[in-house]
Amino acid sequence: MTNPVTYETQGAIAVLRINNPPVNALSQAVRQGLSDGMDRAEADRDVKAVLIVGEGRAFIAGADITEFGKLPMEPNLPDLCTRIESSPLLVAASMHGVTLGGGLEVALGTHYRIAQPTARLGLPEVHLGLLPGAGGTQRLPRLTGADKAIEIMISGRQIKAAEALELGLLDKVEEGDPQEVGLAFVNELLANGAPRRAVSELPAAAPIDWEAAHAGALKKGRGQINVGTIVRAVQAASELGFAEGMERERGLFMELLQSDQSKGMIHAFFNERAVSNLPELKGVAPRALNAIGVIGGGTMGAGIATAALLAKLDVVLIETGQEQADAARGRIEGNLQGALKRGKISQPQYDALTTKALTLATNYASLGEVDLVVEAVFEDMAVKKEVFAKLDAACKQGAILASNTSYLDVDEIAAATSRPEDVIGLHFFSPAHVMKLLEVVVADKTAADVVATGFELGKRLGKISVRSGVCDGFIGNRILAAYRTAADHMVLDGASPYQIDSALTGFGFAMGPFAVGDLAGLDIGWMTRKRKAADRHPDERVPTYADRLCEEGHFGRKTGAGYYLYEAGSRASVPNPRIPELIAAEQAELNITPRDFSDEEIVRRYMCAMVNEAAKVVEEGIARRPADVDMVLLFGYGFPRYGGGPLKWADLQGLAGVLADIEHYAQEDAWFWKPAPLLKSLVADGRSFDDLNRAGG
Could you give the CA distance from residue 44 to residue 37 in angstroms, rounded to a whole number? Answer: 11
H/E segment holding residue 8: strand 5-10
456 counts as binding ligand 3H9 under rule CB under 6 A: no
617 counts as binding ligand 3H9 under rule CB under 6 A: no
Could you give the CA distance from residue 156 to residue 149 in angstroms, rounded to a whole number? Answer: 10
Give one word for 403, left, alpha or beta, with left for phi > 0 and alpha for psi -120 to 50: beta
273 counts as binding ligand 3H9 under rule CB under 6 A: yes
The edge-to-edge listing of strands for the beta sheet with 90-95 is 5-10, 13-18, 49-54, 90-95, 112-115, 172-173
Looking at 56-64, 284-292, 305-313, 535-543, which segment touches ligand 3H9 (CB under 6 A)?
Answer: 56-64
Work out whether the CA dihedral 493, 497, 498, 501 comes out positive or negative. Answer: positive
Tell me the backbone φ, ψ of residue 26, rounded to 5 degrees: -85, 70
With respect to ligand 3H9, which residue has the nearer C-beta, 227 or 682?
A: 227
Q: Max alpha carbon distance in the chain (Å)? A: 92
109 counts as binding ligand 3H9 under rule CB under 6 A: no
Could you give the CA distance from residue 524 to residue 183 in angstroms, rounded to a whole number? Answer: 64
With respect to ligand 3H9, which residue has the nearer C-beta, 273 or 530?
A: 273
**How far lies 637's CA from each of 222, 478, 520, in Å?**
16, 12, 12
Question: Which position among 105, 375, 456, 613 bears the catalytic label?
Answer: 105
Q: For ligand 3H9, which residue of 37, 102, 264, 293 counts as binding (CB under 6 A)?
A: 102
- Minimum distance of ligand 3H9 from residue 594's CB (angstroms): 48
Tell me the backbone φ, ψ of residue 174, rounded to 5 degrees: -150, 135
Are the CB atoms for 364 and 393 separated by under 8 Å?
Answer: yes
- Number of residues located near ligand 3H9, criterion CB under 6 A: 25
Q: For ligand 3H9, which residue of 16, 100, 275, 683 counts as binding (CB under 6 A)?
A: 100
55 counts as binding ligand 3H9 under rule CB under 6 A: no
With respect to ligand 3H9, which residue has the nearer C-beta, 79 or 412?
A: 79
* Helices and strands counted in the chain (H then E): 29, 19
With respect to ligand 3H9, which residue has the nearer C-beta, 128 or 416?
A: 128
Which of the 8 DSSP states describes residue 164? H
247 is catalytic: no
- Minimum distance of ligand 3H9 from residue 659's CB (angstroms): 32
With respect to ligand 3H9, which residue has the nearer C-beta, 98 or 374?
A: 98
With respect to ligand 3H9, which residue has the nearer C-beta, 336 or 437?
A: 437
Looking at 30-38, 61-69, 147-155, 295-303, which segment touches ligand 3H9 (CB under 6 A)?
Answer: 61-69
Q: For ligand 3H9, which residue of 55, 64, 371, 422 counts as binding (CB under 6 A)?
A: 64
- Minimum distance of ligand 3H9 from residue 237's CB (angstroms): 14
Binding mask 110-149 for ligand 3H9 (x = CB under 6 A): --------------xx--x-x-xxx-x-------------
- Nearest Cα to Cα of residue 680 among 621, 605, 616: 616
- Minimum distance of ligand 3H9 from residue 312's CB (angstroms): 18
With respect to ligand 3H9, which residue has the nearer C-beta, 151 or 669?
A: 151
H/E segment holding residue 575: strand 573-575
- Minimum distance of ligand 3H9 from residue 224's CB (angstroms): 15
Q: For ligand 3H9, which residue of 23, 230, 423, 622 counts as binding (CB under 6 A)?
A: 23
- Minimum distance of ligand 3H9 from residue 494's CB (angstroms): 45
65 counts as binding ligand 3H9 under rule CB under 6 A: yes
Strands (E) across 137-207 are located at: 159-160, 172-173
Instruction: Output b/e per residue, 1-40; b: 16+ Cβ within 10 A.
Output: eeebbebeebeebbbbbbbbeebbbbbbbbbbbbbebbee
**How far lies 495's CA from each of 105, 181, 249, 422, in Å?**
49, 66, 43, 47
Work out whether the CA dihedral 681, 684, 689, 695 comes out positive or negative. Answer: negative
Question: Do you find a cis peptide bond into 75, omega within 30 degrees of 0?
Answer: yes
For ligand 3H9, the binding residues in 471-500 under the rule CB under 6 A are none
Looking at 55-63, 307-315, 364-372, 627-635, which segment touches ligand 3H9 (CB under 6 A)?
Answer: 55-63
With respect to ligand 3H9, which residue has the nearer C-beta, 271 or 576?
A: 271
- Minimum distance of ligand 3H9 from residue 89's CB (angstroms): 24
Are the CB atoms for 59 and 119 separated by under 8 Å?
Answer: yes
With respect to ligand 3H9, which residue has the nearer C-beta, 26 or 374?
A: 26
Question: Do you find a cis peptide bond into 22, omega within 30 degrees of 0?
Answer: yes
Are the CB atoms for 667 and 249 separated by under 8 Å?
Answer: no
279 counts as binding ligand 3H9 under rule CB under 6 A: no
With respect to ligand 3H9, which residue has the nearer C-beta, 422 or 628?
A: 628
Looking at 96-104, 354-362, 428-436, 645-653, which segment touches ligand 3H9 (CB under 6 A)?
Answer: 96-104
Binding mask 219-258 for ligand 3H9 (x = CB under 6 A): ----------------------------------------
- Minimum distance of ligand 3H9 from residue 475's CB (angstroms): 21
61 counts as binding ligand 3H9 under rule CB under 6 A: yes
Beta bridge partners of 19: none
- Minimum distance of ligand 3H9 from residue 238's CB (angstroms): 19
Question: Do you find a cis peptide bond into 178, omega within 30 degrees of 0?
Answer: no
Question: Which position among 55, 125, 272, 613 bears the catalytic label?
Answer: 125
- Minimum distance of ligand 3H9 from residue 131's CB (angstroms): 7
* Neighbouring residues of 685: CB distance < 8 A, sequence distance ≥ 6: none
101 counts as binding ligand 3H9 under rule CB under 6 A: yes
With respect to ligand 3H9, which residue has the nearer C-beta, 109 or 646?
A: 109
Number of neighbouring beta carbons within 10 Å of residue 342: 8
95 counts as binding ligand 3H9 under rule CB under 6 A: no
- Minimum distance of ligand 3H9 from residue 258's CB (angstroms): 13
Tell me the backbone φ, ψ of residue 507, rounded to 5 degrees: -70, -30
22 counts as binding ligand 3H9 under rule CB under 6 A: yes
- Minimum distance of ligand 3H9 from residue 262's CB (angstroms): 10
Are the CB atoms for 641 and 634 separated by under 8 Å?
Answer: yes
Are the CB atoms for 35 and 25 separated by under 8 Å?
Answer: no
125 is catalytic: yes
Are the CB atoms for 69 and 110 separated by under 8 Å?
Answer: no
> Which sequence positions are flagged as catalytic?
105, 125
Contact positions toward ligand 3H9, by CB under 6 A? Answer: 22-23, 25, 58, 61-66, 77, 98, 100-102, 105, 124-125, 128, 130, 132-134, 136, 273
